[in-house]
Amino acid sequence: MQALYAQLLVGLINGSFYALLSLGLAVIFGMLNIINFAHGALYMMGAFAAYFLLNLGGINYWWALLLAPIIVGIFGMILERTMLKFLTGLDHLYGLLLTFGIALIVQGVFQNYFGSSGLPYAIPDQLRGGMNLGFMFLPIYRGWVVVFSLVVCLGTWYLIEKTQLGAYLRAATENPTLVRAFGINVPRMITLTYGLGVGLAALAGVLSAPINQVRPLMGADLIIVVFAVVVIGGMGSIMGSIITGFALGVIEGLTKYFYPEASNTVVFVLMVLVLLVKPTGLTGRAA
């Protein structure tokens, strides 16, 4: 049973990353109508930002948790201002191709300087060790990742669904021209939205750095799984992305325990099943 709980925890952690990443994808897709293929590369940049902050600047994990998403978010906003904004009005597919190119560039540059092996990032002192919960041993850092991600996800949901700013955002998603007519600077809002989505990816990168090490290709395979998560959940609903992300992580964890051979493929198989039964995805609208 110990092993089962341990795999469940691993599943919850992966689920946290799926949720944070698919949430960012959904937010970006809503505003920019672009599937951000660079999301995995930006997640990786978040982890590297934390690594550089620690090793070059002596800035600890807690500050990295704040600074890395801001740094990578600014990088994302520069990308949006210099490239993505020129895609307005073009077919969706060009957004996918452009961000795929950006992902190749970013990953290629990092691979040149850091190879493909992982760089270690130590767990901060405050979160070392573990707790015995009676039925399992809980490493504190892993528990922290799950709880913190959940809080961030719900915070983002609150921001978009319940605040004034979120209302503008949702309105601009529905009809940007009309919102502009009300005197709201929609292009700036688009840039900030992209920054927010990218920041969420970078945050996931910082959280994963002590668990998965810091590698140039850490986001390359992850983003494909997240795409499958997005197909399953649909991008219509913020809460849908969060729940689907966590749920698929848990299912993946359970698969690792009961049938480890299929743990790499279970999310994709589920995607196929969902498409056969309900082609629009679990929460999605037809698109």
The residues of the shown chain that bind another protein, judged by CB under 8 A, are: 29, 35, 83, 86-87, 89-94, 96-98, 100-109, 111-112, 220-221, 224-225, 227-228, 230-231, 261, 264-265, 268-269, 271-272, 275-276, 279-280, 287
Q: What does the DSSP assignment read for 43-92? A: HHHHHHHHHHHHHTT---HHHHHHHHHHHHHHHHHHHHHHTGGGGTTS-H
DSSP 284: P
DSSP 119: B
Between 202 and 222, whose beta carbon lies closer to another protein?
222
Strand stretches in 89-215, DSSP E: 130-132, 137-139
We find the least distance from the C-beta atom of residue 184 to another protein, in angstroms, to be 24
Between 42 and 98, whose beta carbon lies closer to another protein?
98
Between 1 and 276, whose beta carbon lies closer to another protein?
276
Whether the CB-CB separation of 191 and 203 falls below 8 Å is answered with: no
- In angstroms, how far is CA 123 from the centroid of its own chain? 21
β-bridge pairing 130-132 and 137-139: antiparallel
Residue 37 CA neighbour count, 13 Å, CB half: 17
CA distance 5 to 8: 5
We find the least distance from the C-beta atom of residue 69 to another protein, in angstroms, to be 23
We find the least distance from the C-beta atom of residue 144 to another protein, in angstroms, to be 30
Between 185 and 264, whose beta carbon lies closer to another protein?
264
Between 36 and 156, whose beta carbon lies closer to another protein?
36
We find the least distance from the C-beta atom of residue 57 to another protein, in angstroms, to be 26
We find the least distance from the C-beta atom of residue 147 to another protein, in angstroms, to be 29
